[in-house]
Structure 1
Amino acid sequence: MKIRNQIMVVLAAGTLLAGCGSGQIGDTGGATTDPNNKNLALLTGMRGEPFYVSIECAAKEAAAAAGYELNVQAPEKFEQAEQAQLLSGVVSSQPGAVIIAPTDDKALATPLQQAKDNGVQVVEVDTALEDKSVAVTSLSSDNHAGGVLAAQTLADLVGQRTGTVLALNTKAGTSTTDERARGFEEEIAKHPNLRLLPTQYTENEPATAAQIVSATLAANPDLVGVFGTNLNTGEGAGTALANAGKSGQVQLVGFDASPKQVDDLRNGRVQALIAQNPAEIGREGVARAIAAIKGEPVERETRTDMIALTRDSMQSQAQYFYRATC
């Protein structure tokens, strides 16, 4: 089935352009940062998740090329208390900048403000705080547009069939997946043959996503589509549909392109993936952290490109596949 070609969202592949919104230059304020500080810290959202591994690998390469040391930390789960504890240890080592994917858009504001007050430049990657005054710059995918793209892709896959559609979110208060869910909901409402069920939260656990999809199938035999807002929700949904013998009958659109998800796309357990560009986010995050340390201006917000991968297009877009190891 032909998927509409409107797959490039916001930017051309592999590039970063000046940001969205006001396009204002970030404020490198806070306590004075030593411009000769060569130490950087990266705190991703979860250890071992291929999206964050891809950010880490690119960030390490960029830091080494620029002559900077990069200390990488990550919580075992996407959970703010553990990340806040790691952040405290990182700040005590006095890096010039911390590059972070906040696991909660409110709860991490206080410790990150304290880091800023101690002369540590804050660079957000992937996720962001609700308070825009803390970080000097934010880099992420245009997640609302990614949700819109997911809905368009799912509607094309379903065609003229009528039925219900389920969106799986992770944790309330996660800026990225909340925006994806919002974009999906707004776009799917434009397709009268599809009825969106209440969004369900998985706590970022694949097993929970699988349980929700199994229960939804039992309660809604007319289920025709599922959207998983991130890697873990998509993987869990794929497992449930396969176990029910519904792979390919219920169209599944996932977010991200981990090795397992790519395999699932190849073997038909997933019909489409909305892939981000984590390597570009990692490289540019380091570049902006170094610029902020030196007191140079940086763009306050930038959005990177995304693309819809299908079984037919995946090999020509292999540069979007995520890495499991560096």
Structure 2
Amino acid sequence: MEKPVISNRSTRHAVALLAAAVLSLVAAACSGGDAASSGSNNDKIAIAAVLPNTSDPFWATISCGAEAKADELGAELTTYNSTSVDANTIASNFQAAQLSSPDGILVSPFNNNQFIGQYQSLMKKGVPIVTQTPTEPTSEYKAVFSSTDTAGLVQEVVDVIPDGAGTAVFLGGAPGIPPLEKRTQPFVDALLDARTDLAPLPTEYSGFDINKATTMVSALILAHPDLKVIIAADGPDGLGAAAAIRQAGKTGEIALIAFDAVPGEVDALREGTISALIAQNPTEIGARSIEVLVAYLESHRDDAAVTATAAAAIDNRVLTAGNVDDPDSEPYLYKTDC
């Protein structure tokens, strides 16, 4: 067989090709180095947040607290929030969050056990879940929520209720919401124990509708001239009750103790229509939720199953016209945006 002839030209061409190949390898190595560096830069802890009803300043403030803490800790936070209380919308958002394959998830459905099966599955895969609505049985890594120990706050507000026998009414928002009931009912029971001269009227529910709460309380004021105190479980009921008291000219005659601290409630507190607010600390709730997720993920990046830990209860605070503008009260004031 005839041997191939290698000409000088072919030799020069081969050398050129070899040089090009070497340059390509160097470029690839450099590119690989850049990619690795880029991967390192993008190797942040990825967290998804699924919060309901962020049209409510309470949930909006939790989201703000979470976003600020994620920025501080260098975590990537993607929100899948809903402006409604619709369970199907929350479920759709939670599904979208899971599809993004985050390292950890902050999620708070109104029905505490709505996603219990998904929590258990994700936890087995090494994805920690933090929620504000503890499951029964416990199936999340940690619940970070407002303390339900509100009975002890009664002594801070009992003096705002006018003296003498009369009636009292609790505006419960909506029935069948465990986090709401567990936080408000102990306070109501303790207040009635402290003022045995007050006869409780049947609990009223507005469905978190300010206009309905206003109409409801206006009717109660007319039907019960001896009404001494109204306890409102939430912002909309607090705002509706304040409007009804104002319209009836009963400011100072009927004590209104409301939970939460949405902007309108804080205004009514300053003017004296609301006697006291039992405020949660949504800023701290959002921040602490991100903190515990990041702390876990920084030391557990091996996809090992996540074990549940003890819940963290964040204290409530009594706000009055005298302390509402103190710097220490600022985290308890709910925001409409960040």
**TM-score, length-scaled by structure 2:** 0.77
- Partners of 2:237 and 2:151 lie apart in 1 by 14
Match of 2:141 among 118, 125, 136: 136
Instruction: Specify every segment of 5 or more residues in structure 2 that has no aligned partner in the other structure, as ranges.
Output: 1-42, 301-306
Which residue of 2 is the match for residue 120 of structure 1? 127
- Partners of 2:50 and 2:215 lie apart in 1 by 30
- Partners of 1:185 and 1:263 lie apart in 2 by 23
Q: How many angstroms does 1:277 deviate by?
A: 1.5
Q: How many angstroms does 1:119 deviate by?
A: 4.4
Match of 2:283 among 279, 282, 286: 279
Give the match's secondary structure for 2:159: helix
Give the match's secondary structure for 1:138: strand
Answer 1 or 2: higher relative contact order, Cα 8 Å, separation at least 6. Answer: 1
Q: Tell me the alpha carbon deviations over residues 180-221 of structure 1, each in whole angstroms, 9 at most, x when there is no partner.
A: 332023202312111222222222222232232223223322
- Partners of 2:320 and 2:45 lie apart in 1 by 42
Which residue of 2 is the match for residue 322 of structure 1? 334
Q: How many angstroms does 1:157 deviate by?
A: 0.9
Cα contact 2:233–2:258 (8 A) shared by 1: yes
Which residue of 1 is the match for residue 10 of structure 2? none
- Describe the shift of the 1:299–1:106 C-alpha distance in structure 2 as closer, same or farther (beyond 3 A): closer
Q: Tell me the alpha carbon deviations over residues 86-137 of structure 1, each in whole angstroms, 9 at most, x when there is no partner.
A: 1111111111111122211233434444544554321012x333331x1110
Which residue of 2 is the match for residue 310 of structure 1? 320
Match of 1:46 among 53, 65, 88: 53
Q: How many angstroms does 1:311 deviate by?
A: 1.0
Q: Which region of structure 1 is more displaced relative to structure 2, 230-239 or 107-116?
A: 107-116
Cα contact 1:248–1:268 (8 A) shared by 2: yes
Match of 2:163 among 160, 163, 166: 160
The runs of at least 4 consecutive aligned structure 1 residues that moved more than 6 Å come to none
Q: 1:203 and 2:215 equivalent?
A: no
Q: Which has the larger radius of gyration?
A: 2
Match of 2:249 among 245, 248, 252: 245
Task: Count the aligned residue pairs.
Answer: 287
- Describe the shift of the 1:130–1:199 C-alpha distance in structure 2 as closer, same or farther (beyond 3 A): farther
Match of 1:79 among 69, 76, 86: 86
**TM-score, length-scaled by structure 1:** 0.80
| Structure with greater helix percent | 2
Q: For 1:68, give the aligned amino acid.
A: A
Give the match's secondary structure for 2:196: coil
